[in-house]
Amino acid sequence: MIALALAFVALLPAPARLQVGADEFRYSLSRQSIVTGPAIVQLVNYGEDEHDLRLRRAGGTRTYVVGKVSPGGATELETRFLPGRFALWCSLADHRRRGMSATLLVRRP
Ligand SMILES: [Cu+2]
């Protein structure tokens, strides 16, 4: 039974990984595109202020939230993305206007 479960897990696609580094006032993405499906988004705060991360697919209505991270901290969001172009931004204060925004392409395999 355990062997069966392990075999099943082995068949699941490995999640796409994206690291988003944040400082004042910009993001740096570890990659510009990822493959659709399961994904782990890690937000790492290299700055001196708190930052968070929101993602929304162009034409979509759902906003994915990676919560507020303190300076020197990191947090992860495990989710699934549909294919499309995603806008990324920091929702704190005026950070978005000051440059904390980016674009991510989620593409079909
Ligand atoms: Cu910010």
Domain ranges of the chain: 18-92
Q: How high is the mean pLDDT of the chain?
A: 93
pLDDT band at 12 (very low <50, low <70, confident <90, very high): confident
| For residues 27-41, average pLDDT | 97
Q: How far is the CA of 105 from the centre of ligand 1 (A)?
A: 21
Full-model pTM: 0.88
Fold of 18-92: Immunoglobulin-like (2.60.40)
| For residues 56-78, average pLDDT | 97
For residue 41, what are the β-bridge partners?
Answer: 18, 77
Q: How far is the CA of 59 from the centre of ligand 1 (A)?
A: 24
Cα-based distances in Å from 18 to 43, 53, 72, 77, 81: 9, 12, 18, 10, 12
Q: How far is the CA of 11 from the centre of ligand 1 (A)?
A: 38
pLDDT band at 32 (very low <50, low <70, confident <90, very high): very high
Give the rounded percent of residues in the chain with a pLDDT score beyond 70: 91
